[in-house]
Amino acid sequence: MSSSTVRPEDQDRLAEQDVARRLLDSAAQLSYDPATQVDWETPLDPDHHGASPEWSTLYGTAYWNELTDAQRKALTRQEAASVASTGIWFEMILQQMVLRDMYAKDPTDPRFQWALTEVADECRHSIMFARGAAKLGAPAYRPRRPVVELGRAFKTLAFGEAAYAAILVAEEVLDVMQRDW
């Protein structure tokens, strides 16, 4: 009978580090830099919607039917910019939570490095959303003050898997919308 000299908690840590290394390798190949990979200089075609019309809050209503085609396109542009602003807000909460969790941890650990890589990717997403909203000619849509304060309390007080689950659910909704647009 053979016995292991590695404790179960060490095996878990090693397995997590291996996953983090694979994620780092994947991110090195797949990370997207909107500053260099999006042509921000090309003008938008005014004949296109900002998002699929079906995603519009008014789609299928009597109000939608009363709008001209140009008004529908303008509405979807504003709604897309609003969703992008909401995405930035959620991503900033996620970034702060990740940084808080990694604060004062071992920077040589692949899990730490993966966390920083994730924050960097989220920063790039936020920049892309911000530039996209500006390109759509939209104002800066921001949450109202009470919502900002709730977000501040959440990112400060929430911890563990439940904290991340709440943010990731919101991000998943935004990701589904992006893929469909």
Whether residue 87 is contained in a domain is answered as yes
Whether residue 73 is contained in a domain is answered as yes
Residues in the chain: 181
Whether residue 146 is contained in a domain is answered as yes
Q: How confident is the model at residue 177 (pLDDT cuts 50, 70, 90)?
A: confident
DSSP for 135-147, please give it: HTT-------HHH
Confidence at residue 100, expressed as pLDDT on a 0 to 100 scale: 94
> Which residues, including other chains, have CB under 8 Å from residue 6's CB and lie 6 or more apart?
14
Two tokens, residue 37? 């990979």
Q: How confident is the model at residue 115 (pLDDT cuts 50, 70, 90)?
A: very high
Range of the domain at 65: 47-180
At residue 67, φ and ψ (nearest 5 deg) are: -75, 145
Q: Are 80 and 51 contacting, i.e. CB atoms less than 8 angstroms apart?
A: yes
Query: How far is Cα 171 from Cα 84, in angstroms, rounded to an integer?
Result: 11
**pLDDT exceeding 90 applies to what percent of the chain?**
63
Q: How confident is the model at residue 95 (pLDDT cuts 50, 70, 90)?
A: very high
Whether residue 42 is contained in a domain is answered as no
Sign of the C-alpha dihedral, residues 90, 140, 121, 181?
positive
Whether residue 2 is contained in a domain is answered as no
Q: Are 97 and 163 contacting, i.e. CB atoms less than 8 angstroms apart?
A: yes
**pLDDT at residue 111 is higher than 70:** yes
Whether residue 162 is contained in a domain is answered as yes
128-173 confidence digits (pLDDT tens): 999 999 999 999 999 999 999 999 999 999 888 888 888 788 878 8
Q: How confident is the model at residue 6 (pLDDT cuts 50, 70, 90)?
A: low
Residue with tokens 């900033």: 92
31-89 confidence digits (pLDDT tens): 888 899 999 999 999 899 999 999 999 999 999 999 999 999 999 999 999 999 999 99
Whether residue 137 is contained in a domain is answered as yes
Count of the separate structural domains present in the chain: 1
Confidence at residue 105, expressed as pLDDT on a 0 to 100 scale: 97
Whether residue 61 is contained in a domain is answered as yes
- The pTM of the full predicted model, rounded to 2 decimals, is 0.82
Confidence at residue 3, expressed as pLDDT on a 0 to 100 scale: 61
